[in-house]
Amino acid sequence: MAEPDVRRMSVGEFLAWEPGDGLRYELVDGWPRAMTGARIRHDRVVRRVLRVLEDRTGAGPCEPFSSDIGIHTPRGDLRRPDATVDCGPRDPDDTIARMPVVVVEVLSPSTKHYDLLVKIIDYKAIPSLGHILFVEPDDLRAILYSRGADGSWAELSLIGADTEVDLAAIGARFRLGALYGDDLTLSGGTIDV
């Protein structure tokens, strides 16, 4: 298989370029960046996140999407969170969320520090975003960032199956344990940076 033509590009050029080679890419500083694959535990948590968000948004104006749908950041990047709740108008042929309100990243050992230190900056700059949830797949832990009415961000550590996750911007509440199903005997990883 031939290597895709990797060069610096705009979001529009990037969306037209995506090679369809089975790999998934983000656009970072104008450059396509291949995303890494996931472990089964990670993928299970992502599926449960999407299921919980689907249940909580129902037939309302907001809809959850997988990492197939990107979000455009103010600095010109295109990110692909594990889950996005979009509350804007949607064309069925869109590949970008027009008004992302919630993003969820399920952390991976290879990208955890990048997500917590770099991606969060991009996410916080998106004006429509109300919540950023980082979920640790190997332990019942998460970090929830919520934007206040004044635009400032509050950080809340969530620990334990019965801890409530409150995504007020979309009117959704659920127990953290709902994201883990039967995988509650976890290895004890942490999300410390």
Q: What is the chain's percent helix, strand, coil content, to nearest 5?
A: 25, 30, 45
Q: How many CB atoms lie within 10 A of CB 104?
A: 27
- Segment 42-67 shows an average pLDDT of 93
pTM: 0.82
Query: Tens digits of per-residue pLDDT, 144-188?
Result: 999 999 999 999 999 999 999 999 999 999 999 999 987 555 444
What local confidence, expressed as pLDDT, does residue 123 receive? 96
- % of the chain residues with pLDDT over 90: 54
CB-based contacts of 102, cutoff 8 Å, min separation 6: 53, 83, 84, 85, 129, 130, 131, 132, 133, 167, 169, 170
d(CA 164, CA 19): 40
What local confidence, expressed as pLDDT, does residue 76 receive? 86
Query: Tens digits of per-residue pLDDT, 84-126?
Result: 999 999 888 888 899 999 999 999 887 788 889 989 999 999 9
d(CA 140, CA 189): 9
Query: Tens digits of per-residue pLDDT, 4-16?
Result: 566 677 777 766 6
Query: Given pLDDT bands bounded at 50, 70 and 90, which one contains residue 189?
Result: very low
Q: Is the pLDDT of residue 68 over 60?
A: yes
